[in-house]
Amino acid sequence: MRVRFLAVMAAMMLGAGSAARAQGALAGTLAVVNRKDGTVSLVDLATKDITATVPVGEGPHEVAVSPDGAWAVVSNYGPPGAPGATLSLIDIAAGSVESTILLGKHRSPHGLAWTKDGAHILVTVESDSAILVIDRAGGAVSAEIPLHQQGPDLIAMSTDSAHAFVTALGASSVNEVDLAARKVIATATVARNADGVAVRPGADELWVTSQNSDLITVLGLSDLAPRATISSAGYPMRVRFTPDGATALAIFGKSSELKFFDANARKETASLPMRISKSAMRGGKGAEGYENHTVPLGLAISPDGRWAFVTNGGADALTIVSIPKREVSAVLFVGREPDGVAYSPLVRAPAQ
């Protein structure tokens, strides 16, 4: 009965969120991973309230929301010296962990993605230099695909979910994985410390950030051949596209910036410093000043392409950015050292 009730409520709340978005309002729920707290904050974007704080495993890093918006999966990477071996599956409507997925011998789970049908979860595991395929229904590992590359990191999916593109920090490479064949079919070497990866909508392009090299590499999606490099200093990390593929956004960890790029021209067009009020951080009303080294770690974009969501690990904050205006709309304080962030269209009721 509880499952049916939650399903009905989730459908009602999704409908409410759709109506709000149709009227141009910011709506939906953000799942924000708090690395040091071992929790996930569920943030109502319309009210800017945290509607639930969900305990997960130790040292969580990344989060990915299912295609229907109902579930958020979190990689429990583990604290230094104690590699994690689980994922947490959060029921967003309930605001709680629905199940803990055990990864067996595999350790240090990190990058996450869902298949288009929501039936499978993909996760990179550093201990085995592999990507795991997990059945959503039972939580079992159905496949282990060796990558043979040091430090597998993040995952981008092809539109049809037939292929996954996985960066490797240590190897400075990108692997293309054929998910039906369960094997790597192509590898491209890029600049040192490959990290963020994103498929450009409507184009035969894959963009990859290289942290220590201050470069973004544009590869052909169909052949992983190099197309261009974009130089941009400040330690580029995550990269995302607006749904029309016209604009790329990337966060820069050392310079604490969110940068905007014209995807067609492959050129930086704007830079927005991620500054946070020191007074607000302390919860007081002292003389104003700004924390400039806020260390952006996570980046997500709303489905309408109007909003960017940046976690600032050095300031325990979430920054909401208007993409058309290229300006900060709001700053919210979440848990300690927020990292991964993902969007759901579901609008859930606050905890009672």
CA angle 208, 210, 215 (to 5 degrees): 85
Percent with pLDDT over 90 in the chain: 86
3-state secondary structure of 282: helix
Query: Quick check: 315 and 330 in contact, CB under 8 A?
Result: no
List, for residues 266-319, the tens digit of each pLDDT value: 999 999 999 998 888 877 665 567 889 999 999 999 999 999 999 999 999 999
Helix (H) or strand (E) holding 12: helix 2-22
Separation of alpha carbons 62 and 40, rounded Å = 10
Residue 11 has pLDDT above 50, yes or no: no
Q: Is 138 exposed, middle or buried (0-12, 13-18, 19+ CB in 10 A)?
A: exposed
List, for residues 34-93, the tens digit of each pLDDT value: 999 999 999 999 999 999 999 999 999 999 999 999 999 999 999 999 999 999 999 999
To which residue do tokens 């590699």 refer?
83
Q: Is 301 exposed, middle or buried (0-12, 13-18, 19+ CB in 10 A)?
A: buried
Residue 17 has pLDDT above 50, yes or no: no
Instruction: Calculate mean pLDDT across residues 242-253.
Output: 98
24 Cβ neighbours under 8 A, 6+ residues apart: none
3-state secondary structure of 285: coil
Residue 100 has pLDDT above 60, yes or no: yes
pLDDT score of 274: 97
List, for residues 169-187, the tens digit of each pLDDT value: 999 999 999 999 999 999 9
* Two tokens, residue 180: 């039906």
Percent with pLDDT over 70 in the chain: 91
* CATH dotted code for 2-344: 2.130.10.10
Q: What is the 3-state secondary structure (H, E, C) of 242-260?
A: CCCCCEEEEEECCCCEEEE
Task: Please give the C-alpha separations between residue 262 and each of 41, 71, 267, in angstroms, as whole numbers.
Answer: 32, 32, 5
Give the helix ranges, DSSP H, for 203-308: 278-282
Gyration radius of the chain's alpha carbons: 19
Q: Around Cβ 296, how many Cβ atoms within 10 Å? A: 28
Kindly list the strands in the beta sheet with 60-65, ordered across the sheet, starting from the edge strand earlier in the chain. 60-65, 71-76, 86-91, 96-102
DSSP classification of residue 19: H
Q: Lowest mean pLDDT: which of 23-27, 148-152, 184-188, 282-286?
A: 282-286
pLDDT score of 9: 35
pLDDT score of 12: 34
Query: Quick check: 90 and 100 in contact, CB under 8 A?
Result: no
* Two tokens, residue 162: 């037939």
pLDDT band at 19; cut points 50, 70, 90: very low
Q: Return the higher-pLDDT residue of 123 and 17.
A: 123
- The predicted model scores a pTM of 0.92
Average pLDDT across the chain, whole number? 92
pLDDT score of 283: 72
pLDDT score of 284: 63
Separation of alpha carbons 186 and 175, rounded Å = 6
Query: Quick check: 323 and 345 in contact, CB under 8 A?
Result: no
Separation of alpha carbons 332 and 320, rounded Å = 8
